[in-house]
Amino acid sequence: MASPPGASKSRASRPRRPASLGVAALVPVRIPLPHTWTPSGRASRLPRSETASDLQIGVDLAPVSKIRRVFEGRTALLEDVFTPEELRYSFRRRRPFEHLAARYAAKEAVFKGLRTGVTGAVRWTDVEVVREACGAPRVVLRGEAARLAAARGFRRCALSLTHAGDYALAAVLFLI
């Protein structure tokens, strides 16, 4: 029996799409810049080694509902993962778990950018998200996380946080 007009085709007759690798396959990404450019937009005449910019990116997406489910009512676990200042900042907000999820995502993004996990001497509290006077988030590295960043030659770290709906996203950019 023929399908009525407008009905979808069966799975077998649809063309196959390649399997998606997902975001996790893309992060962390190391991006060497092939050409150096001056602020005027012209190519630099200096040797590459003197103006080279090397980047390392880390990105993470955290579901707010999962962060709430895991951490709500678990003070010891909250204190193992977040610094006292992060907890103080988040719990002063109307929706504290959105802010905690963004900070959790930032910590994960930093670990991805450093190409490590939370293993060995690296602790969750070695990475702290603080706010600048203007309100912008900033990463502060301590302990083993700071040592790893220095060993890889990272001098600066940029952070962007956002949350929408049930998700918080953090992107970290390390610069040499």
Residue 82 lies in a domain: yes
Structure confidence at residue 11 (pLDDT): 52
The domain that holds 104 is classified in CATH as: 3.90.470.20
Structure confidence at residue 51 (pLDDT): 39
Residue 38 lies in a domain: no
DSSP string, 17-38: PPPP--GGGT-SEEEE-SS-B-
Going by pLDDT thresholds of 50, 70 and 90, the confidence category of residue 165 is: very high
Residue 89 has pLDDT above 70, yes or no: yes
In the chain, how many domains are there?
A: 1
- Domain enclosing residue 65, as ranges: 28-33+53-175
Residue 121 lies in a domain: yes
Beta bridge partners of 129: 139
115: left (phi over 0), alpha (psi -120 to 50) or beta: left
Residue 28 has pLDDT above 70, yes or no: no
Q: How far apart are the first and last CA of the chain?
A: 65
Structure confidence at residue 158 (pLDDT): 93
pTM: 0.70
pLDDT tens column, 100-156: 999 999 999 999 998 887 777 789 999 999 999 998 999 999 999 999 999 988 988
